[in-house]
Amino acid sequence: DTAVSQTPKYLVTQMGNDKSIKCEQNLGHDTMYWYKQDSKKFLKIMFSYNNKELIINETVPNRFSPKSPDKAHLNLHINSLELGDSAVYFCASSQEAPETQYFGPGTRLLVL
């Protein structure tokens, strides 16, 4: 069974469109995260939710809106996509500290 899964794996879209990425974890963890990995492989946290509550919001444009319907799911909706949004987006989850974060396989977003 996949611990942290993301859909879709690849996403190619036009500038200005709205898209969503879904993430699910079956590890029973309380905390979930979204990271962005840019073309130079640099990883930066975007958001973190703990038990459906937003904990971390790292100066991300408000075109990005995370939603956690329950603690096993954390979705990322992106409005008005821009070229600079092209990246790999990783979902992760963890339980109590000290944290080991378990990562999903990533969603490769390409904005044309």
Partner 1 sequence: AQSVTQLGSHVSVSEGALVLLRCNYSSSVPPYLFWYVQYPNQGLQLLLKYTSAATLVKGINGFEAEFKKSETSFHLTKPSAHMSDAAEYFCAVSDHSGGSNYKLTFGKGTLLTVNP
Which residues bind to partner 1, rule: CB under 8 A? 4, 30-31, 40-45, 48, 50, 55-56, 90, 92, 94, 96-106
Specify the residue, 28 or 98, whose C-beta has the smaller distance to partner 1.
98
Shortest distance (Å) from residue 91 CB to partner 1: 9
Say if residue 36 is exposed, middle or buried (CB neighbours under 10 Å; 0-12, 13-18, 19+). Answer: buried
- In whole angstroms, the minimum distance from the beta carbon of 97 to partner 1 comes to 5
CB of 102 to partner 1, least distance (A): 8
The DSSP annotation for 44-76 comes to EEEEEEETTEEEEE-S--TTEEEEEEETTEEEE
Cα–Cα distance for residue pair 12/78, rounded to 1 Å: 13
Q: How far is the CB of 82 from partner 1 (least distance, A)?
A: 23
> Would you say 44 or 63 has its CB closer to partner 1?
44
Cβ pair 15, 84 in contact under 8 A? no
Comparing CB distances to partner 1, the nearer of 68 and 101 is 101
Q: Give CA–CA dist 89/107, Å, rounded.
A: 5
Considering the complex, state which of residue 2 and residue 17 has its C-beta at the smaller distance from partner 1.
Answer: 2
